Amino acid sequence: MRKAETVTFGGAGLDRAAHLRNPGAQSELRHEPAARALVLWRGKPLMAGPESARAGWLPLDHPALEGAPAPIFLGMVEGVPRFAVDLSRWEPEGLDAAAMAAFVDPTEQHHPLMPGDHRFVELRRVMTRLDPLEAELAATARGLFNWHRTHGFCAVCGNRSEIVAGGWQRRCPACGAPHFPRSDPVVIMLVTDGNSILVGRSHAWPEGMYSLLAGFMEPGETVEAAVRREVFEESGVTVGDVAYLASQPWPFPSSLMLGCRGTALDRAIRRDPDELADARWMTREEMADAFAGIGGRVPPARPGAIAHHLIRAWLADRLD
């Protein structure tokens, strides 16, 4: 697929510098005056500037970070160490719990010890504003923090594990078992039948939102088999040929989206009501109108998501 890696979070060649994840190198890097940290609060990155257009990097000795957990090493950017710090222990005043629980959290939080234009913003809202490198760093930080938050105990013996290797491992002090960050593989499918593609909507999505069908892979399953199984389970449509197109790290919370194209063998939709609130075929003309904001019945997939990337490539005839 042409321009496959231009998808949001597709990466910008971050030097992850795995050889510097040892304790000695980490100690030196944390004390470098130029070292900077991307701060996250409950998964929301610190953004700065007008309209939160860039990530807000702070020195590791910034007063707002006093008492925070040890930083996680993200890598090197032009010879400068980049870290991530989780500030989720901070309790802002006046939190709007209902708004924060929305599909996309519209609230922003400002720490009183940070500059006035620095605010914590939901990553889904700003992911398309970030340049490729900052998007990769933000996705990496969010994914690592979520993994540490949900994997604090050894899966072998049940004891609490410890963070090692600059944040890229957990090790059990009781049995010595090492544990590594995980990504959950998810197939997402551009299923075509002639001039139409298959779209569906989840029960949890905002009213009117449709996107490509997707689902988690199962153990012992190929990508091609997962595409056919998920499409049939959700919509009843049978898929024949399957081809890989592009991938996207999706840190909500920690998936690797495997974008594929599938050719439908039939058009009859037999939707599973537990899986989908609705499913339908859309012609190329209908989808082009949706992207252009014409008609208004079905808004296009959210910018920044791989579904948007794949549909736009299909409309432009850039899948091959």
Under a CB-based contact definition with an 8 Å cutoff, are residues 146 and 163 in contact? no
Specify the 3-state DSSP secondary structure of 122: coil
> Is 222 in the same domain as 271?
yes
Predicted local confidence at residue 297, as pLDDT: 65
Strands (E), the chain: 36-41, 44-48, 54-55, 57-59, 72-77, 80-86, 108-109, 119-121, 162-164, 169-171, 178-179, 184-193, 196-201, 213-216, 239-250, 255-264, 278-283
242 in any annotated domain = yes
Predicted local confidence at residue 102, as pLDDT: 86
> Is 172 in the same domain as 220?
no
Residue 296 has pLDDT above 70, yes or no: no
Please, is 120 exposed, middle or buried when counting C-beta atoms within 10 Å of its C-beta (0-12, 13-18, 19+)? buried
120 in any annotated domain = yes
User: How many whole angstroms from its chain centre is CA 164?
Assistant: 24
The pLDDT tens digits of the residues spanning 10-37 come to 888 899 999 999 999 999 999 999 999 9
Q: How confident is the model at residue 300 (pLDDT cuts 50, 70, 90)?
A: confident
> Is 22 in the same domain as 103?
yes
Predicted local confidence at residue 79, as pLDDT: 96
> Is 90 in the same domain as 116?
yes
> Last residue of some domain: 149, 174, 202?
149
Q: How confident is the model at residue 284 (pLDDT cuts 50, 70, 90)?
A: very high
Residue 171 has pLDDT above 70, yes or no: yes
The pLDDT tens digits of the residues spanning 66-118 come to 999 999 999 999 999 999 999 999 999 989 989 998 888 999 999 999 999 99
99 in any annotated domain = yes
Q: How confident is the model at residue 2 (pLDDT cuts 50, 70, 90)?
A: low
61 in any annotated domain = yes
> Is 9 in the same domain as 44?
yes
320 in any annotated domain = no
Domain count, the chain: 3
Beta pairing class for 184-193 and 255-264: parallel
Average pLDDT, the chain: 94
Stretch 284-305: mean pLDDT: 83
Q: Which of 261, 238, 259 is nearest to 248 (CA)?
A: 259
74 in any annotated domain = yes
Structural domain including 250 reads 184-315
